[in-house]
């Protein structure tokens, strides 16, 4: 079956059909997939039935495994370091994975690390009947839509990001007991493959713009965070079990909507790393 690529929205995203990810794509199929990933920034492969091992093997086509998350102990499977379950399922009251409940603010995975994640993959095993959508925001479009004066003003500036593992909102900044990880990155980030500029700022992690006085940096940060969350730059993905998604953290922020606590949400997440040198 031929691979087809169908755009999902005016903002970003494409659906890719004609691939069974239990088998690694190669040749023209892999080339089409790489092209779609760069062009559409987020790709969805519906109707997949893949193991953790399949997911890892697929990710290794794009880069190295790299995660701060350790897989919780699992039974009868091939989980290993780097695989993370995003789930509200609990065993004896303890979540079996990470990021269990409720909504989550926009962020880019790994923006709090010196070496952010190049891409993230999520595979839907169980999804609630409503809510729990993952929202994706196009950071190229957010940059392109800035006026020339703002583009000139922010060129060369850096943003300071901070994050406590498993936080889903800025309000958790004050939470005790978590380890705060911090990193600085260019506010205007040039994509290491496409060369395009993205507005690399997000509500969950970005704390201040380096080198500006307090009042100015707060005003500018608020303005830019609002810019990257403009509705026209966002695609909301409503999950179907069997969906496998991969998005490009170099040019995409993502967030999550709330969902009924009594329903099960279980996704398997695996990240792909980018070298420090490529992140600037
Ligand atoms: C994440 O931010 O990695 C999780 C997104 C989601 O649960 O939809």
DSSP per-residue codes, 29-54? HHHHHHHHHHHHSEEEE-S----HHH
Residue 105 Cβ inside 6 Å of ligand 1? The answer reads: no
Does any domain span residue 12?
yes
Claim to verify: residue 128 and residue 43 sit in the same structural domain: yes
Q: Do 220 and 255 share a structural domain?
A: no
Judge if the beta carbon of residue 104 lies within 6 A of ligand 1: yes
Q: Could you identify the residue written with the tokens 């999804």?
A: 127
Backbone angles phi, psi at 238, to 5 degrees: -90, 120
Q: Is 279 within a domain? A: no
187 and 260 both lie in a single domain: no
Same domain, 29 and 56: yes
The reply to whether 223 and 242 lie within a common domain is: no
Assigned domain for 278 exists: no
**Ligand 1 proximity of 255 Cβ (cutoff 6 Å):** no
Query: Are both 13 and 150 inside the same structural domain?
Result: no
Q: Is residue 84 part of a domain?
A: yes
Q: Could you tell me if 126 and 18 lie in one domain?
A: yes
Q: What is the pLDDT of residue 180?
A: 87
Pair 154, 29 in one domain = no
- Ligand 1 centroid – CA 80 distance (Å): 19
User: Has residue 223 been placed in a domain?
Assistant: yes
Q: Give, for ligand 1, the residue of 266, 267, 271 to mutate: max count of ligand atoms closer than 8 Å to Cβ.
A: 267
Say if CB 251 and CB 120 are below 8 A apart: no
CB within 8 Å of 237: residues ≥ 6 apart? 8, 13, 42, 44, 133, 134, 135, 136, 243, 245
Tokens of residue 149, six digits: 């004066």
pTM summary value: 0.93
Domain at 57, CATH number: 3.60.130.10
Q: Domain count of the chain?
A: 2
Q: Answer yes or no: are the C-beta atoms of 181 and 113 closer than 8 Å.
A: yes
Return the number of other C-beta atoms located less than 10 Å from residue 276's C-beta.
12
Nearest atom in ligand 1 to the alpha carbon of residue 269 is 3
Phi then psi for residue 139, to 5 deg, are: -80, -20
Cα separation, 119 vs 46, in Å, equals 18
66 and 149 share a domain?
A: no
Domain limits for position 84: 4-99+116-132+237-273
204 lines ligand 1 (CB under 6 A): no
The pLDDT profile of the chain, 280 residues, written as one tens digit per residue, is 789 999 999 999 999 999 999 999 999 999 999 999 999 999 999 999 999 889 989 999 999 876 665 555 554 455 555 788 999 999 889 888 889 999 999 999 999 999 999 999 999 999 999 999 999 999 999 999 999 999 999 999 999 999 998 899 987 766 666 778 999 999 999 999 999 999 999 999 999 999 988 888 889 999 999 999 999 999 999 999 999 999 999 999 999 999 999 999 999 999 998 654 343 3
Same domain, 128 and 14: yes
86 C-alpha to ligand 1 centroid (Å): 7
- Same domain flag for 15 and 63: yes
Specify the pLDDT at position 205. 96
Residue with tokens 């009947």: 129
Determine phi and psi for 89, rounding to 5 degrees.
Answer: -70, 135
Instruction: Tell whether 260 and 217 lie within a shared domain.
Output: no
């Amino acid at each position: 079956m031929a691979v087809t690529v169908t755009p999902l929205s005016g903002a970003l995203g494409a659906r890719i059909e004609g691939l069974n990810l239990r088998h690694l794509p190669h040749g023209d199929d892999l080339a089409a997939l790489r092209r779609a990933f760069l062009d559409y920034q987020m790709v969805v492969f519906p109707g997949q039935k893949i193991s953790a091992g399949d997911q890892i093997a697929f990710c290794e086509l794009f880069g190295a495994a790299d995660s701060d998350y350790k897989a919780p102990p699992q039974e009868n499977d091939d989980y290993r370091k780097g695989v993370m379950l995003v789930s509200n399922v609990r065993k004896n009251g303890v979540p079996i994975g990470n990021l269990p409940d409720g909504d989550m603010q926009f962020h880019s995975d790994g923006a709090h690390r010196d070496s952010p994640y190049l891409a993230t993959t999520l595979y839907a095993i169980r999804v609630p009947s409503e809510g729990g959508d993952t929202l994706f925001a196009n950071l190229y479009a957010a940059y392109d839509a800035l006026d020339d004066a703002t583009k000139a003003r922010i060129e060369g500036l850096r943003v300071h990001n901070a994050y406590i593992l498993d936080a889903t909102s800025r309000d958790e900044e004050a939470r005790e007991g978590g380890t705060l990880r911090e990193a600085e990155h260019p506010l205007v980030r040039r994509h290491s493959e496409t060369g395009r500029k993205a507005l690399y700022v997000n509500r969950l992690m970005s704390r201040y713009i380096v080198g500006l006085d307090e009042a100015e940096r707060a005003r500018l940060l608020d303005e830019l965070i609002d810019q990257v969350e403009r509705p026209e730059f966002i695609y909301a993905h409503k999950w179907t079990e069997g969906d496998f998604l991969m998005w490009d953290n170099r040019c995409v922020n993502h967030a999550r909507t709330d969902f009924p606590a009594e329903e099960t949400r279980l996704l398997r997440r695996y990240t792909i790393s980018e070298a420090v040198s490529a992140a600037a």
